[in-house]
Structure 1
């Protein structure tokens, strides 16, 4: 069986040829969860697979101790000038099947801990078709949990929760000032026991990181403001993605999640700031 549900995830978008080296370093520095996608436009899923193999053969870290998450990316999210993981003219169901087969091969694994739909499809009918096919792979055991990314409508998320036969386990969205920190979707996740994963957590929040409240937290606990924000997210029920390429920051990110909790009034003050 896989490791427990992660509290922080290493994100591999835009890592290109450095992907294998960075994933290995991230795991050796404490990460146990990896996020990728079957989308050559932004990810090198095959190099994540090389990293998983290297971690086991060279460092004694078995695949079973890692939470491996990848994505089915609809055709609208693919770069048509690059090799696609499925036949572009195939049905939605066949695209899902071919994408998952590609992911299993590229990652070199027998199962995927979480398969995330990279975004809703063009309409609800197509979205449900794709999700139904993902449910088939869940039933076979090759996919252990299901998720969706880039879903910013709380009503659409509620609709998918109601229609799903296999419980939605993950929502992965941008979390930043530009979308008012996505509170409506986050609250739906909290109400339904869904893990809310955040990206753009640091890069999308320069003004929040610079706020006196964050500086005060960092100074009080002897950490960086970036660590303080990751810890804050963890305490309010958000699982952040970190895409750092710095080994020092990898260590700091993992340490931040494991550190002593902030006081309740400190968390409340920052949450009130961003409500």
Structure 2
């Protein structure tokens, strides 16, 4: 069996496919054309349609637009949740957790038309940490034959600490909901059943990630943080006008500049123009920072102002 390419690290930005459903193929195709080279998906059909994501990736590779080694494909093993339709899961929910992981990954490889997955993420935790560790050990068994790296999502600090200490193969990424709202103070304007951090802006988890060299990937960054996007001081608005990009793109870039831990951004826009605008805007910001020491220092001031809000 051919060995997997060496893990090269988490890309700066991924295209997220949650809740794209029947639009998944067309949107992933457009994202790849726009220049995205990292795709985040999952085998569970509760929020994803992984087979359509795979169709788009396969078409892009077959047409010569991209090569497989240029892509970073991240998918997830989603633990079964009571009350959900078992048919939405890519495994037999009556089997053991280890068998479920194997079946889920086999399904993902078939859906994505690939021989390996760049990162396999544990989509959520089990109520019992021991079951979480059983799932993780089953995921570890797939490295490096089918999977290059592992990550975890929707994870609190204590569970992350226990996972890290027990794991032989450490998580390279934590993908968590990023918001000022917390579990003890949910936002009534948001949809019910959303996960919440225990600490505002997930500060405790981000600190742990920074200490242990784990990449932090915030999801819900734009729609979940009006207090940052619409800050009364209009920091993002001011910086965006100066550089010539939207405040949303500014937030993407500033999140990677605030320090504390390395970050990878999830972008899930359904608008083709926004895909291009996002990637072009991030490039524009890099050029702005590199043009002069004055602009670099100004950027650092903008980043510091946002850091004061979320850190």
TM range (shorter): over 0.9
**Count of residues in Structure 1 that have an aligned counterpart in Structure 2:** 273
Please say if 1:219 is aligned against 2:228: no
Which of 205, 214, 239 is the matching residue for 2:225? Answer: 205
Please say if 1:273 is aligned against 2:278: no
The residue correspondences of 1:1-275 to structure 2 (distance < 5 A) are 1=5, 5-76=10-81, 79-80=84-85, 82-139=87-144, 141-151=145-155, 153-179=156-182, 180-211=200-231, 212-236=234-258, 237-258=262-283, 259-260=285-286, 261=289, 263-275=299-311
3-state SS, counterpart of residue 54 of structure 2? helix
Runs of 5+ in structure 1 lacking a partner?
Answer: none
3-state SS, counterpart of residue 268 of structure 1? helix
User: 1:108-164, CA deviations, whole angstroms, 9 ceiling, x for partnerless residues?
Assistant: 11000000000111211100000001000014x20000000001x212211111111
Q: Which residue of 1 aligns with 2:190?
A: none
1:5 is displaced (CA, Å) by 2.8
Runs of 5+ in structure 2 lacking a partner?
Answer: 183-199, 290-295
Separation in structure 2 between the aligned mates of residue 8 and residue 80 of structure 1, nearest angstrom: 32
User: 1:187-240, CA deviations, whole angstroms, 9 ceiling, x for partnerless residues?
Assistant: 111111111111101111123112211111111211101011001112233211
Conserved? CA contact 1:231–1:256, under 8 Å: no
Q: 1:195 to 1:177 in 2, by over 3 A?
A: same
User: 1:38-79, CA deviations, whole angstroms, 9 ceiling, x for partnerless residues?
Assistant: 111110000011011110122431122110000000011883
Conserved? CA contact 2:46–2:88, under 8 Å: no
Separation in structure 1 between the aligned mates of residue 87 and residue 58 of structure 2, nearest angstrom: 25
Separation in structure 2 between the aligned mates of residue 195 and residue 4 of structure 1, nearest angstrom: 9
More deviation, 54-63/40-49? 54-63
1:254 is displaced (CA, Å) by 1.6
Would you tell me which structure has more helix in proportion to its own residues? 1
TM-score (norm 1): 0.94
Over the aligned positions, Cα root-mean-square deviation in angstroms equals 1.6
3-state SS, counterpart of residue 75 of structure 1? coil
